[in-house]
Structure 1
């Protein structure tokens, strides 16, 4: 393109390192400013075509389209200390506990009601403690030691055993998956998640003088306006960073969410270790890239014709994919480690429950001994 349009050419960088554009004080910054002031004939970069920039420079036909996303630190693995309780919610656990506690007394009540009403007792009379413990035992071991000749009691037991079978099957299957597969904290996946991330101490940031900066800043309502309110107004330099490289690096150093173009984010994250970052699933703000030229420049139409031909034959997409694959080939990328061995960390809750049971047993034992001595002392007092 340079050979066709300009022959010999000279490459220069933006003095302020920004893409730039018109500012409220009527200055024009960055690459856009250099072209607008005729310090350069054209600027070739990931420059988004915007109405504001088109007031001071001319854009060629767009050669690439993509959307924005945001990148945050990779979610941390959840604490697995109480993983054995994770298959069920708190409400389910409470319902199971209540059902188990009431099952024994219900069986005992029906058994005694049958004796009163029919005069027929079971082959074996079980105490309330025995019935209650058997209901718990059948929940854990899927086995019952209760034998009855009453069909009403049999149907109660049948319903309870079917209930415990379903609970046991769902718990054991879900627990295996919960222990073997890694679980992570909820990631930041959409613009609506940014408010919670901000409350959690994250700084919301994007590139200064970029299309994203303008989109959020100029929004009058809606989610973009809400996101702009999350930017650091006390210290704008924390939210408006000089370039994407600084933003990606800040994600690794501090609690940052950086808004940037999807392709650029993928490449820069891969270069630094893809497993260290999380790219949001939601994309937004579709945009087109073009080459900027001086207002009225004759090379704009020449560039546009060349770019259209390159786009139509698919070379732009091919070159983009080649660059992405090249980076991912040489740089480490995130891989799912798959199922892991069950460790002591996963079973901490099981040992905690065992220790808790032993502790309660020890307390009850002490109370029983104290109560026994107290009864003996009272008996000895009465005898004297």
Structure 2
């Protein structure tokens, strides 16, 4: 919150000391202090502000009025009158030179308005009085302001030994202008230049480490950083533009490099884990930030126990959630796909309707009052059954009842057939397009129902492990008790996850990156991410504990959030939902091609029909052969 203070008192030193103890000197406040001493040359601004921290906005108005100056009202009036006459003559000459070159119509279009002519006359009068005033130069106040922002960074290169505080020994006081009764306030600089120009284009030292996708550093053959990008680096670039400073990047060793130094030198790069973590802050970064030598540490760090850290966190720049990765559930067998559109009860009702409609049609055809109305082709129950069954398959029949009663039965049966066939075909298309899958692990508390998963994995150095120690969720605690902490790709054992024997917990963006890489390699979706996202891990940047610019940086980070910059940088640098997730997976299902798994049930139905036909042929052969053999035996006897 910005506040302005005007101090007019002979006890300005005491007021500055009290305000400093109340932490009222910071980058948001502005202090204008009038020094009422008659002799301005005895005032030392550096001594008065000896205890102020860097980032204060303070200006002093010093009394330079000559005490023995002889001034009179008549002399002042005479000088102002001369200035007015000189200004009017100058503007008249200027107008006459222009008027003689153009027409009257053009002159009416471009001539000065009254307000413009007034401003021009006052400007000419001030110029005349600056050079020729003699009488009105007695009363005079000079204003000087302190240049404080970033002075410890700017002056560090001139010191032989670094200093660990940001007191005002680096402050610079500049003369910005003066005030007189006639000329008013004449200035060459703003009273508080940092409010408008912030750091005034000085060079700041910024600490960073290589940790994609947050900080991505590209070096040349000499080890110098030639390119930097990533989410944190984009925020630093925007801060540099908004706060008007340039910067020089200093790289510290990352925790990966620290681990590699503690292990054997012959490490395998292919054994590194996919993605990144921010919970473990490199020790070298913490050590260098405590020295107050850097403006900010441009590293993504997990926000944890800020009151117990030897540094400060900025406003969170990201929130990452944890999830788990498992084997994608297998698709349910489609061998009975042709029966899926209707439930078992519906199929039994359909069979019952067929068995009921056939005898009804036979009875109505048999009970027709006239013999001519009785159709010979419907004179048996068997023929009526095949007629009804053929109508169900939309094949029709050779015979049609002539009686109105029989035609009503057939007509309403056709209506039932239309509804049945339309419903069946529509549902069958839906089952073909959207396959069913076996139950998978959508939530962490469902692990007890999946006995085939025997290995639990958790990435090393995660905030999840610390969070479980204080949570009340029993499924988290149970998982951590059985989990194996892995720190390399070999220990991660992603192949066991692919076989359905293992589950791993990591950042959701890291798991999406794993899914994306395996899909690009295998051209097949083998993994599934849990629907549940848990444990919000807030990520921020680091500033020194004594930094005066923490609130300033936080205000601009909030502004970046409101304008959508940070969200855009997340979309550019973090993995998005790939072809195995979200709308891409939906599009893949929509474009599903019918394969042998889909048609296997249809072929089995055809095979079943052939089998029944063969059995019935055998029965018919035996049925006709048995009476013939009995007649031959009777003839022989």
Q: Same fold (TM over 0.5)?
A: yes
Which whole-Å deviations, capped at 9, do the CAs of 1:262-314 have from their partners, x for residues lacking one? 333334433443644434444343342124679xx325x74564355234224
Residue pair 1:198, 1:204 contacting (<8 A) in 2 also: no
State the distance in 1 between where 2:345 and 2:288 align. Answer: 67
State the distance in 2 between where 1:150 and 1:202 align. Answer: 71
Asked whether 1:31 is paired with 2:280, we answer: yes
Q: CA deviation at 1:376?
A: 3.0
Structure 1 partner of 2:374: 123
Q: Which has the higher contact order (CA 8 A, sep 6+)?
A: 1
Residue pair 2:391, 2:417 contacting (<8 A) in 1 also: yes
Structure 2 partner of 1:67: 321
Residue pair 1:46, 1:289 contacting (<8 A) in 2 also: yes
Structure 1 partner of 2:546: 298
Long gaps (5+) in structure 2: 1-149, 154-203, 208-247, 261-278, 291-296
Residue pair 1:216, 1:225 contacting (<8 A) in 2 also: no
Asked whether 1:278 is paired with 2:531, we answer: no
Structure 2 partner of 1:351: 603
Partner SS for 1:348: helix
Q: Find the structure with the greater CA-based Rg.
A: 2
Residue pair 1:69, 1:282 contacting (<8 A) in 2 also: yes
Structure 2 partner of 1:312: 559
Structure 1 partner of 2:270: none
State the distance in 1 between where 2:468 and 2:370 align. Answer: 80
Query: What TM-score, normalized to structure 1?
Result: 0.71
Greater mean alpha carbon deviation, residues 312-321 or residues 336-345: 336-345
Q: CA deviation at 1:361?
A: 1.6
Q: How does 1:227-246 map to 2 (within 5 A)?
A: 228-229=477-478, 231=479, 233=481, 236-237=483-484, 240-242=485-487
Asked whether 1:323 is paired with 2:568, we answer: no
Long gaps (5+) in structure 1: 18-29
Partner SS for 1:67: strand
Partner SS for 1:141: coil
State the distance in 1 between where 2:454 and 2:408 align. Answer: 57
Partner SS for 2:504: strand
Partner SS for 1:62: coil
Asked whether 1:103 is paired with 2:354, we answer: no
Partner SS for 2:393: helix
CA RMSD for the aligned pairs? 4.4
Partner SS for 1:346: helix
When residues 80 and 54 of structure 1 are mapped into structure 2, their CA distance, relative to the original with a 3 A threshold, is farther
State the distance in 1 between where 2:382 and 2:458 align. Answer: 66
When residues 269 and 192 of structure 1 are mapped into structure 2, their CA distance, relative to the original with a 3 A threshold, is closer
Structure 2 partner of 1:199: 451
State the distance in 2 between where 1:285 and 1:250 align. Answer: 26
State the distance in 2 between where 1:59 and 1:285 align. Answer: 22
For this pair of structures, how many residues does the alignment match? 352
Residue pair 2:325, 2:527 contacting (<8 A) in 1 also: yes
Query: What TM-score, normalized to structure 2?
Result: 0.46
When residues 377 and 58 of structure 1 are mapped into structure 2, their CA distance, relative to the original with a 3 A threshold, is farther
- Identify which of 408, 413, 416 aligns with 1:155: 408
Partner SS for 2:625: helix
Which whole-Å deviations, capped at 9, do the CAs of 1:202-253 have from their partners, x for residues lacking one? 7554334533334456443xxx423544x385x531xx43379965945754
State the distance in 2 between where 1:130 and 1:11 align. Answer: 89
- Identify which of 462, 467, 475 aligns with 1:226: 475
State the distance in 1 between where 2:419 and 2:438 align. Answer: 29
